[in-house]
């Protein structure tokens, strides 16, 4: 697994139990078999874990979860990102820029379609499946299912104040489990500080739950209704307030 270790940098201690497991060996074997059968797998093996390399564990603040890499060969290893040499912007990234323009009354001129600037600012742009069969969207989602669920769980346990943004509905249950576990820990921590009035406990917990679940519900409704404009202004507000409250915990 030295190849993966070199790709992911300081993520490796967190990822090591996953990528050295018997389950992950089966993932690697299945991909090798498909390649041997003549199937083309995207992206190139050298950039499969590029999202981790571009946004290191020490720097991560936000995790944006997409579905799987572009199956037309344009995948770069970062969810939603395009190659800067691409003749046109992909539909998914196009709608993201439209949402930014709509919410902030601006124009995305000279927008960084590689999304590397986002990654360098602490945004982990991770697809829930890190590979895909050419021309077959969603073909490896089930294959990477356990990897993604384990990663979400490990990250939530090992780092505080990370915001998860799901643009793919499938992992809603995993995220809800993470949020409930987080609330339990907040309760334990607050109860240790006897000087905090009970009212503070109620307000902080109530806001945290509403903020988390409210954001999820908003994104679910956006996805289910097919609405293309993501309510990013609401999300930014929630993120700002979450950081404000959690820094006291």
Query: Starting at the edge strand that comes first in sequence, how are the strands of the sheet with 123-127 ordered?
Result: 123-127, 62-66, 163-166
| Catalytic annotation present for 103 | no
- Give me 30's structure tokens: 């299945």
- Give me 143's structure tokens: 């294959």
What's the rounded Cα separation, in Å, for the pair 142 and 128? 10
Burial 125-141 (b: 16+ CB within 10 A, else e): bbbbbbbbbeeeeebbb
Placement of tokens 């820990």 in the chain = 185
Placement of tokens 């060996």 in the chain = 25
What's the rounded Cα separation, in Å, for the pair 47 and 27? 16
Give me the catalytic one of 68, 72, 103, 112.
Answer: 68
The answer to whether 27 and 147 have CB atoms below 8 angstroms apart is: yes
Tally helices (H) and strands (E) across the chain: 10, 5
The residues carrying an active-site annotation are 68
């Amino acid at each position: 697994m030295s190849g993966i270790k070199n790709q992911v940098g300081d993520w490796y201690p967190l990822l090591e139990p996953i990528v050295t497991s018997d389950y992950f060996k089966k993932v690697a074997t299945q991909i090798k078999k498909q390649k041997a059968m003549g199937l083309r797998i995207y992206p190139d093996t050298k950039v499969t874990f590029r999202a981790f390399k571009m946004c290191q564990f020490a720097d991560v603040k936000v995790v944006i979860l997409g579905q799987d890499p572009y199956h037309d060969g344009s995948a770069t290893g970062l969810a939603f990102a395009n190659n800067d040499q691409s003749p046109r912007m992909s539909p998914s990234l196009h709608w993201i820029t439209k949402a930014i323009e709509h919410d902030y009354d601006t124009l995305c001129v000279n927008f960084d379609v590689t999304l590397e600037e986002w990654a360098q600012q602490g945004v982990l742009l991770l697809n829930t499946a890190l590979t895909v069969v050419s021309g077959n969207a969603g073909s490896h989602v089930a294959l990477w299912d356990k990897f993604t669920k384990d990663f979400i769980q490990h990250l939530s346990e090992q780092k505080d104040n990370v915001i998860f943004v799901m643009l793919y509905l499938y992992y809603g249950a995993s995220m809800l489990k993470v949020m409930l576990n987080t609330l339990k820990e907040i309760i334990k921590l607050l109860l240790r500080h006897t000087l905090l009035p009970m009212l503070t406990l109620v307000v902080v917990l109530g806001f945290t739950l509403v903020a988390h679940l409210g954001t999820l519900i908003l994104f679910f409704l956006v996805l289910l209704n097919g609405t293309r404009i993501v309510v990013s202004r609401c999300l930014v507000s929630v993120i700002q307030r979450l950081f404000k409250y959690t820094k006291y915990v």
